[in-house]
Amino acid sequence: MQLNGQVAAITGGASGLGEGTVREFIAAGAKVAIWDVQEDKGKALAEETGALFCSCDVTSEEAVRAAMAATVEGLGAAPRILVNCAGTGIGVKTTSRGEPHPLDQFQRIININLIGTFNCIRLAATDMVGLEPLAEGERGVIINTASVAAYDGQIGQAAYSASKGGIVGMTLPIARDLSDKGVRVCTIAPGIFETPLLGGLPDDVRQSLAVSVPFPKKLGQPAEFAQLARQIVENVMLNGETIRLDGAIRMAPR
C-alpha cells in the first residue's frame, strides 16, 4: 500500500515516535489524523503539518469512537492505516523497602499501553474490513509499538515490560484474525530512542545510553522509527511480525 492519498490515524502522534511518524506520513502524501490526549502539542503539530487533531484517550471506547468519527468527517474516509504509538512507562521494583509494587500503577501501565493499543486495533479494524480492497486485496495496515523491554526488561520495568510483551504476543494472532479481510498487522520494538520518556535525563546519562548501543552508537531518532513504519505500510509481505529497531542492543539488568 502506498501512503500517498491514504488516511492514517496515529495514536500518541503529538510527540516522540508518533510525531516523527506524522511528519513522515504527511511528507509521503498521506492524510493524517493525530489521536492524542496532548491537545496543545497535537493542535500545534496539526497546524504546522496540515494534519487533523482529534483529542483521544486510547483507553476509552467512547473517545476512540469519537476520534474515528472525527477522522471520517475531517479527512473523508475511515483510516486504512493505524499506527499505535500512545504509551507511557514507570520504574518500580516488584518490592522495595518493605513495600510491594503498587497494584494501581501496574494496572495503569497495562491499561494504557496494552489495552489501549488493543482498543484502537479492534475499533479501527472493524472499519477497515468494510473498505474496498486495493491491490493484492489489501484493506488496511496496523502498526503497533512495543519495546526491546518486551524481551530484555530491566530492573523496575515489570509493568512496562509486561505491557510491551503483551503487544508482541498479540501481534501474530491479530494478524491471523484479520488475514482473510486483507488487513496486515506488524509491531516495531524500538531500542533506546530520543523520546519524551528520555527527555528529562541528564546529558551524561543520555550519552552513556548512546554508547551502549553496539552500532550505531547513538540514540534512535523518531524519523528512523517512522521510516520503518512507512516500509511496513508499503511492503505487502510484512505481516504478523515484530521487528526490533535497536542497533543490536540487548539491555543489561540496569
151 catalytically annotated: no
pLDDT tier, 254 (very low <50, low <70, confident <90, very high otherwise): confident
Mean pLDDT, all residues of the chain: 96
pLDDT, one tens digit per residue, over 163-216 is 999 999 999 999 999 999 999 999 999 999 988 877 766 787 778 888 999 999
Burial class (CB in 10 A: 0-12, 13-18, 19+), 96: exposed
- Which of 28-37, 98-107, 198-207, 244-253 has the weakest average pLDDT? 198-207
Distance separating alpha carbons of residues 141 and 31, to the nearest angstrom: 15
> Whose CA is closest to 191, among 231, 159, 164, 156?
164
What is the side-by-side order of every strand in the sheet holding 183-190?
Answer: 52-55, 31-36, 7-11, 81-84, 140-145, 183-190, 242-245
pLDDT tier, 45 (very low <50, low <70, confident <90, very high otherwise): very high
CA separation (Å) from 229 to 215, 237, 248? 21, 14, 19
Residue 159 is predicted with a pLDDT of: 97
Phi-psi region of 27 (alpha: psi -120 to 50; beta: other; left: phi over 0): alpha
pTM: 0.96
pLDDT tier, 111 (very low <50, low <70, confident <90, very high otherwise): very high
pLDDT at residue 14 greater than cutoff 90: yes
CA atoms within 13 A on the CB side of 182: 16
Any idea which residue has 522495595 for its cell? 96
CA atoms within 13 A on the CB side of 11: 30
pLDDT, one tens digit per residue, over 137-154 is 999 999 999 999 999 999
Q: Domains (ranges, CATH) in the chain?
A: 7-243 (3.40.50.720)
Phi-psi region of 182 (alpha: psi -120 to 50; beta: other; left: phi over 0): left
DSSP-assigned letter for residue 102 = P
Please provide the distance, in angstroms rounded to a whole number, between the alpha carbons at the two ends of the chain.
Answer: 40
Q: Decide: 139 and 183 in contact? Cβ < 8 Å.
A: yes
pLDDT at residue 135 greater than cutoff 80: yes
Q: Which of 25, 35, 53, 160 is catalytic?
A: 160
Q: Decide: 240 and 176 in contact? Cβ < 8 Å.
A: yes
Q: Decide: 115 and 84 in contact? Cβ < 8 Å.
A: no
pLDDT at residue 73 greater than cutoff 80: yes
Residue 200 is predicted with a pLDDT of: 65
CA separation (Å) from 179 to 80, 129, 141, 142? 15, 10, 11, 12
